[in-house]
Structure 1
């Protein structure tokens, strides 16, 4: 697509109807068209009109607002979907060297690492991450999500079939190991295709982070060359949501052309040999390689040395790689004083999940097997990214409290994070049976059913959630959601209803 970003001319829209379409695209998808991009954008709009056989700009605008294939074609026309495998090897090397050791135990096993390719286009980026995780032995415990605004691109990604242009620069040995060739077509092996979940998601909408969309607590987010299409206020909103979606020690990587987030949103800026990365304020400043980074970029930072792609990962050093042992992390005060439900509530509200787990474990040892203690323990472990441990404690909690709707819901959510969607649906159904008004259970059930291909039942679950949420005040806090507002979950439920067209395809 032609792009005149470097042109300083000021160009106006040719008419009010084109201007209306541009305003709607900004409101719907966050896309912005400064004066020097309007000529190329309008040409793109008219190309899509021509392909659709629509001559009236007014009619095109009206049909565009209904969504569907016409909108998808326009989004693809106005944004650049160019990508290829192993496109940013330095970033992949950094993930291998600094991120994976932090989630690797002393025995070499990996905990459930969560990775999100935001704006994944036709899938080469999330599949590149799958290849890396397979190579390093972490794929089986990983959750990789690829999202995009274009249904057509997502369908291409889901098929996993590419031509040589998408593999330019990839070593022949990797192609032979991970692809099956049929003439000019290279099909990614099934194990890697099934390792990535593709979903429709609009980064400009406030539908993440949220367990309802499965996008939360990410160890790594790649969002390359997406923010260039947004204006400054939208960039700030999207950037804040991306940072909020990170785990406490997660990493956000943007593209070289994307605007800097420094000074725009609260974050730590990390200068690496792989470029700039972003973290939540207060994230660990000790890298596995032994380097310590500053919260602002430094031109003299040379701590991040280059390594060969797919070189052996360094030995784990991160404290988070230590196997979970509740008493080993319990503060002295938690080990020797009587704890109460109020103490757990206070620690949870403060986001001190390590203390919550310690308090809950001490209370369990003292004989307090109430639902609240088990729920707090499971949530605290899950919020720290310790999915396997959370699953184990959830099973133990259900053995003690088999009629707990919230524990069944948590079991479903955790199974979904492990990619076990049929099991997730069963657990969510139990939660809904025990408590038909537990809104988040309906949302979890819908997501699991959609992933298993039962879109009709998923829509029913979403409509049940929509009905429950519409019946309560918009600013009320929804039960079992860590304080989510009803208005936001209602927006998410309606977004998922719209996006099920992709799941059905």
Structure 2
């Protein structure tokens, strides 16, 4: 806890809890004490406890209670086919390589480590089905949150889980149930879920099926761990791979090749880790120009009357059409961030193009995206989208005071921008200003409530007013409940 001053914490009991989490789960000290204290408060409230000595004793004795706390101190953000370039690498590079080495009868083994509510492993299952591996695949998924695992096994999702550009791959396998969608058994039964704390030394494990993996997704999990835990997890991930297997981490995760004998593969969008088989030549240093294989037959899903038919997935083109902004939009939709940023940045006179370039760049280099945003704002000082993007980027980097400034500037330029009020609420809550956060969430809720529920909210990435109002209401209600508990 050396990075936090004593005045950052309302009570020394919080420090003791964080120290216990660091010792037991290998988590780094939180960068934002107010947000961590709120999470601890919520976990203690669920446990029906208000005094730290009792809570600490229960954390020591009850693994499930520690798991519940870990969920509060980490972020489980996910949606179907999130970061499409990762899935394209699997489709066009990993699977052809496995087929070449292991033959057509091989059962492909895949593991989603830190699967949250299940969108990632289900996306992998659908990809494998599309590529003809329906009867020759084993998909494992683990998480530290038993509640998230229960939601994942249920297989029920809202439109929010389908907000990514590649969600079209999932829609043929979803049954509409009111405002939600349920995965068909054809997909749901392909994934085997199980509890696992990656910081524990209980894996690789034949009992849990966590061994001999052709592919591991472990994205945006390692960012929470301290260095000794990262080293141990990296070694175990390498040991869990089959010879020739691949590991895909998140863009913000620490480099792992210094902790385990991975070969690193450089792509346009980041690094992939590879366990080289004995006698196998090193993988090419760049694989972006490798041609995609011919598409395999797509399995026929059960008929879904309430879901419009979607086109069968097509092979990824080698590069988008370089025709100005249309080329940039196409590259952005394909997840070719570098090309999208390059094409859009060629139009500095257009604020919308600048915003498009910044969104693409943010997926590759958030710091560079912040710098580009600053320059774009100088050219377009009245462009509200640029101010909003600046706030979003700064929040992601933990620069809360600067993020608050940018969010307030966006609101000054467009007072009715609901997403800016919602973001301001998150920023203020992390800064410990719960009353200001509550007001911001209430404003966002009120603005969305003035719109028809199915109306698309500006700058909300396809989110509709009804769902965004629900999100703002849940955040406001949570803060009000904490305020009432504090008064009592």
Which TM-score applies when normalising by structure 1? 0.54
SS state of the match for residue 116, structure 1?
strand
In structure 1, how many angstroms separate the alpha carbons of the residues matched to 2:41 and 2:102?
59
Residue number among 147, 150, 154 corresponding to 1:155 in the alignment: 150
Which sections of structure 2, spanning at least 5 residues, go unmatched?
296-311, 318-488
CA shift for structure 1 position 303 = 4.1
Structure 1 304/262 Cα, relative in aligned 2: closer, same or farther at 3 Å?
A: farther
User: Aligned match of 2:20 in 17, 24, 27?
Assistant: 24
Equivalent in 233, 240, 257 of residue 235 of structure 2: 240
Greater displacement, 38-47 / 81-90: 38-47
Distance in 1 separating the partners of 2:216 and 2:115: 11
Inter-CA distance 29–172: structure 2 relative to 1 (3 Å threshold): closer
* Corresponding position of 1:121: 116
Post-superposition offset of 1:106: 11
Distance in 2 between the 1:68 and 1:164 partners? 33
Question: Is the contact made by 1:96 and 1:313 (CA closer than 8 Å) also made in structure 2?
Answer: no
Answer yes or no: is the 8 Å Cα contact 1:117–1:125 preserved in 2: yes
In 2, Cα distance between equivalents of 1:203 and 1:175 = 28
Q: CA RMSD in A?
A: 3.0
Q: Distance in 2 between matches of 1:100 and 1:302?
A: 14
SS for the counterpart of 2:198 is coil
**What does residue 293 of structure 1 align with?**
284
| Distance verdict in 2 for CA 1:71–1:196, change over 3 Å | same
Superposition deviation, residue 244 in structure 1: 0.9
Change (3 A) 1:172 1:229: closer
Deviation string, structure 1 residues 390-432 (Cα, Å, up to 9, x no partner): xxxxxxxxxxxxxxxxxxxxxxxxxxxxxxxxxxxxxxxxxxx
The 3 A distance-change label for structure 1 pair 96 and 33 is same
Tell me the residue number matched to 1:212: 207
Distance 1:306 1:198, change over 3 A: same
Q: 1:284 to 1:268 in 2, by over 3 A?
A: farther
C-alpha separation between the residues in 1 aligned to 2:53 and 2:4?
Answer: 27
- Give the C-alpha shift of residue 72 in structure 1: 3.8
User: How many Å separate the matches in 1 of 2:86 and 2:76?
Assistant: 20
Q: CA deviation at 1:102?
A: 2.7
CA distance in 2, matches of 1:202, 1:16: 27
The within-5 A match list for 1:247-262 is 247-262=242-257
Residues 120, 86 of structure 1: CA spacing in aligned structure 2 closer, same or farther, 3 A cutoff?
same
Cα distance, 1:74 vs. partner?
Answer: 1.6
Distance in 2 (CA, whole Å) between partners of 1:26 and 1:154 is 23
Matches for 1:489-500 after TM superposition, within 5 Å = none
| CA drift at 1:109 | 3.7
TM normalised by structure 2 equals 0.55
Matches within 5 A, 1:114-193: 114-170=109-165, 173-193=168-188
Q: How many residues are aligned here? A: 296
In the superposition, relative to structure 1, how do residues 141 and 39 fare at CA in structure 2: closer, same or farther (>3 Å)? same
Q: Name 2:479's counterpart in structure 1.
A: none
For the residues of structure 1 that align with 2:278 and 2:264, how far apart are their CA atoms? 10
